[in-house]
Amino acid sequence: MTPPPELAPLEVSESPVDKFREYLEIRGEKLTEQRRKLVDHIFNSHKHFDADELVSDLRHSGSRVSRSTVYRTLRLMVDAGLLRELRLTNRTAYEHNYGYPSHDHMHCTGCGTIVEFRNDSIRRIREEIGDQFGFRADNHRFIITGMCPECLRARSRRRKLDQI
């Protein structure tokens, strides 16, 4: 199976930091140095992560950000439209929402791998269903759960050993 091509970032008019600053100002809050570090760190690479992984990454990079600040800031970043929350089988993961095209996911319940993909048929179905009910659909979340090829191969080898 060939993995789907990586999704390319979209052109955006504001940086993630500027967009977050604007969102916070509307709420009467400030973009603190810790919050700015979080946004910079998260948008420095495109990957799926959970809060604990983010805390660990920050510690390894030498950034001093408290766990409670990480959790509160992630919630604010989701509310601001910068991040998207993915509720998976055994954890909640986050990914970039701002500056990335709409897409869907496959989640391996064996190893936890998350694969992004785009499929125009899914978008057409979303629009058709919306039209059918007079609903203007502007987004959706679609996560296929199952086993990736590597986990299926490993599982198959274990089963053969069980037969000995």
Helix axes 33-43, 51-60, angle to 10 degrees: 100
For position 116, what pLDDT does the model report?
A: 92
Tell which residue, 97, 91, 87, 90, has the closest CA to residue 39.
Answer: 97
Going by C-beta distance under 8 Å and a sequence separation of 6 or more, which residues neighbour residue 91?
Answer: 50, 112
Q: What pLDDT was estimated at residue 5? A: 63
> What is the tens place of the pLDDT at every residue in 68-86?
999 999 999 999 999 999 9
Q: Which tokens belong to 128?
A: 């058709």
For the entire predicted model, the pTM comes to 0.81
Binding site feature residues: 104, 108, 111, 140, 148, 151
Coil/strand/helix, residue 83: strand
Task: Give the per-residue pLDDT at 2.
Answer: 57
- In which residue ranges of the chain is pLDDT below 50? none
**Binding-site residues for Zn(2+):** 108, 111, 148, 151
Q: Which domains does the chain have, with CATH numbers?
A: 12-100 (1.10.10.10), 101-164 (3.30.1490.190)
Annotated binding site for Fe cation: 104, 140
* Residue located via tokens 């973009």: 31
Q: Residue 13: what pLDDT? A: 82
